[in-house]
């Protein structure tokens, strides 16, 4: 897929993800259970975080910088990301997600020629990620009706 196709797919997937999380009533946004232990708020923060990380990784890749070392304790690292997001309001999470989307889109657009690694990273951390979590949110909202 070329750059324009990637950006178009990301934009479409984001709109779908946005519709999914916007469909969650305000009183349920922080309720865990969309996936075990995570709320809609958590999933939105999670996507925002990884979009920013992907933007950083794409910039490093374009400069030819080495990848940073993976965290030694991935579970603790992930728990820290989750805890950080839980300290942010819903509106702040949405604003951060929008900024991080623009950041990763700009990082992809900065490549003269797109290496496969950049395509894979962008795909994994944007539209495939949004699509996965949009489906989970929709299933959760649908499963909560009448209950």
pLDDT tens digits for range 31-67 = 999 999 999 999 999 999 999 999 999 999 999 998 8
pTM of the model: 0.91
pLDDT (0 to 100) of residue 67: 84
The structural domains of the chain, with segments of one domain joined by +, span 3-144
The CA distance from 127 to 16, in Å, is 10
The CA distance from 73 to 27, in Å, is 33
Class of domain 3-144: mainly alpha
Residue 76 CB-half CA count within 13 A: 4
């Amino acid at each position: 897929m070329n750059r324009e196709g990637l950006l178009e797919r990301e934009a479409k997937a984001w709109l779908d993800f946005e519709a999914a999380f916007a469909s969650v009533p305000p009183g349920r946004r922080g309720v865990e259970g969309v996936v075990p232990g995570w709320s809609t708020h958590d999933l939105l923060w999670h996507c925002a975080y990884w979009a920013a990380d992907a933007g950083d990784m794409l910039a490093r890749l374009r400069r030819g910088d080495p990848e940073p070392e993976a965290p030694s304790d991935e579970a603790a690292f992930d728990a820290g990301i989750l805890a950080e997001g839980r300290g942010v309001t819903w509106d702040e999470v949405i604003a951060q997600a929008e900024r991080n989307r623009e950041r990763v889109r700009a990082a992809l657009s900065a490549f003269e020629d797109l290496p496969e690694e950049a395509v894979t990273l962008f795909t994994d951390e944007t539209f495939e990620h949004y699509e996965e979590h949009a489906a989970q949110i929709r299933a959760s909202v649908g499963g909560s009706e009448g209950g």
